[in-house]
Chain A
């Protein structure tokens, strides 16, 4: 390919590989970047760079390239992982750059970089140890290289900011100078490396600026949807709007003559595609294409029939109990005061801002895909199976995602579609982009759920027993049936799991406690949605806890504390949030507080919300205070950013739902799927009461306390519990 420099772009970063193309009409030479993974370095004439180990490459100009194996979708993992490596590497943070590895490169090196999937808030909590060891090993090799060159004991050397010094002789050198020699040394035994104590960190643990901000401010950041390649074609698809239906026929004679249209094709049994020379022309032709659907057996399903189906699970005999301590039903029956409540939460969609897309190029001896994916290796595997090329002839390049939230992890539906279309155009890159409507109508939705809860309190206001029954759709039943053991899908009780040790454990213990799940599946596809089942279960448990406290005539904070003596970390964040929020102190007239605590993704979260409700039912959330114990924190500022983000993502579920009519999704764009905007965003304050004895997640843990804290504040303000969402069902509106 010919290389050229574009006059349009003022600054070209090292990893951008420029190729030329004739722009339609203008004939301009356009600069654009085409990622080729870690091979990029060679393309930029930095062949002199030395790979110290799989994580660290040092260039003669002292640039330290840190390799990243997880996906960056806004959550800041890229910067956090680089901080962890740089901390042990002892390099100059100002000289750090990152590069993303490809799935093929990981495969070729026998998965040396480990798991590449980025979900479950695992990006840092499951790779911190080996990336730090990688950084430390690289430092040891660089220092050893200097020691060998000077013929002095390695223990006599000191290193800081990429500069190695020998105090005895006054000599000094730099990483860039010794990198070539270091790369030839035998690596140290990774397991025997002693990592720094977190209290001695200088780069990790600090609120450093992100490494990936600047290109997001000036239009230079290239997302997958922005890719341009010579000769590229553009496609869009339409899948049967009723899940379980099929494509019956389409009349391509109506659109074949439209400007730019190259092909109208059946993609699979349910999907049709239009391919054109530009995406807009493909979309316009798709809108004009007469399509007949065989809507199949689900064409009469609607939200009401789904609700009835779930309701049967609240009383059915097919539930299983996960926690069954004492005899909760008996204790409740015998209690002085009793309460029963039924809660329900609807389906909701991920709706990342960058619509689903991928670019696929199928050559006789190679299959390639460029894709915003949370699991590059899953995308590679799907590319291989869909294209028929063996894995070693496939390559998958991740482009930083325009939002993920769980949508781009498990199911590689986009890959299969993209490959099916590209098969019709061998050797030609085809970029498939969904419309927003397609994205809304064909998501893997957050599961719908209902919950029936019972509790009793004794004369002294102590809890006598609590019984919770969740009925709802199972993610595992749809996506991973093998994970369901003996018919018991404990994943749907996430956040309520028993025992002290674990990833999403219940924060309360009691002599009479029962938790149950009854599976009630629907025809909608479901999947993980930021926070997954901790969202629904957090609402059920934490809102009901306020109802029980009220029945017991006790303060919601104090009542919770009475059940948490065996859960010190849950209690720790609850107390920290309450203290930071000034729980119990006077508030402005008309403002009320709500509190919630819950656990997910290995971290402990609590929130206090301050809310007012007008006589017209307008709900204003003024302030949310969070406490998060994620054990250790790598970047406190980005941790705060994730918590702020969880507020907006969670609060959107107060506004909106995915409902079903005639078997299909009703809310297909932002005009009827109302997403929270800046006017509704409360002030967010964060406290991190870290205990430093574990590593928890950050991206997902806090979302499960956002909604319950707000709903409890609404309850406090109105005297009425909010038991179903969205708020419009209660005559309430978020303002």
Chain B
């Protein structure tokens, strides 16, 4: 039994203490935006925020979560996909298959919370998540866009947009 505060709600989960936070989030709480990619804290698909810090939830047992710890998953990053990182990601169509993108977005949001104007070197050091589709080129551009280093969206993009963020 563990008590988890996720996206502002408290969840009591019946799991063995060594259950990774990832699997408590996915299988007990039922939030599947956080992904399993490797199970050994290498790929970052499972990235969530723990008290504002980005962590790899596949390698954190629920027993290490303390009362009062606040966990934010991709579902709780914003109410309506309006976080600057999500908006930038949409504006330049970062995702391909999308499977790693929850983790990429959580890593980027944590980076920007600490360093609102990150350099390329900051991005290299903070964004160590794996993407096999190879969206790195656009992730870099989108982080800069979310930081306000470049303009969000363009006239062309707006004119041809099928979807609204």
Chain A contact residues, CB within 8 Å of chain B:
8-11, 23-26, 28, 30, 32, 73-76, 93-94, 96, 206-223, 225-226, 228, 234, 259, 278-281, 284, 351-355, 400-405, 433, 435-436, 637-638, 641, 644-649, 669-671, 675-679, 681, 683-684
Q: When chains A and B are docked, how far (Å) is the Cα of A355 from the Cα of B14?
A: 26
Residue of B nearest to A31 (CB): B30
Residues of A within 8 A of B34 (CB): 219
- Cβ of B37: which chain A residues have Cβ within 8 Å of it? 353, 355, 436
Chain B hits for A641, CB < 8 A: 93, 96, 135, 138
Residues in A whose Cβ lies below 8 Å from that of B137: 644, 647, 681, 683-684
| Contact string against A for B residues 37-78, beta-carbon threshold 8 Å, 1 for contact and 0 otherwise | 111101101000000000000000000000000000111011
* CB-defined contacts of B89 to chain A, threshold 8 Å: 213, 217
Q: Which residues of B are found within 8 Å of A669, using beta-carbon distances?
A: 38-40, 42
Contacts of B78 in A (CB 8 A): 218
Given contacts A24-B13, A217-B90, A670-B42, contact A645 B134 (CB under 8 A): yes
Alpha-carbon distance between A213 and B95 when the two chains are bound, in angstroms: 7
* Shortest beta-carbon distance from A443 to chain B in Å: 13
Instruction: Given A8-B75, A213-B90, A214-B165, check contact A23 B29 (CB 8 Å).
Output: yes
A209 touches B134 (CB 8 A): no
What chain A residues lie within 8 Å of B26 (beta carbons)? 226
Taken together as a complex, chains A and B put the C-alpha atoms of A619 and B15 apart, in Å, by: 47
Taking residues whose C-beta sits less than 8 angstroms from the other chain, chain B's interface range is 35 or more
CB distance from B8 to the nearest CB of A (A): 12
Q: Which residues of A contact B130 (CB under 8 A)?
A: 353, 670, 675, 677
Q: Which residues of A contact B98 (CB under 8 A)?
A: 74, 212-213, 215-216, 221, 400, 402
User: Is the CB–CB distance between A354 and B162 below 8 Å?
Assistant: no
Roughly how many angstroms separate A214 CA and B40 CA in the complex, as a whole number? 28
- CB contact between B11 and one of A26, A405, A676 (< 8 Å): that residue: A26
Q: Which of B75-108 contact A (CB under 8 A)?
A: 75, 77-81, 86, 89-90, 93-102, 105
Contact A678 B30 (CB under 8 A): no
Residues in B with CB closer than 8 Å to A228 are 30, 32
B152 at the interface (CB under 8 A from A): no
Looking across the interface, which residue of chain B has its beta carbon closest to that of A278?
A: B27
9 contacts between A and B (CB under 8 A): A94-B161, A207-B156, A223-B99, A280-B15, A352-B97, A404-B97, A648-B134, A679-B128, A681-B134
What's the Cα separation between A671 and B59 when bound, in Å? 14
The answer on a CB contact under 8 Å between B38 and A670 is yes
Asked whether any CB of chain A lies closer than 8 Å to the CB of B157, the reply is yes
Asked if B35 is at the interface (CB within 8 A of a chain A CB), the reply is yes
Which residue from chain A places its CB closest to the CB of B76 in the assembled complex? A219
A400 to chain B: closest CB distance in Å?
Answer: 7
Complex Cα–Cα for A355 and B132 (A): 12
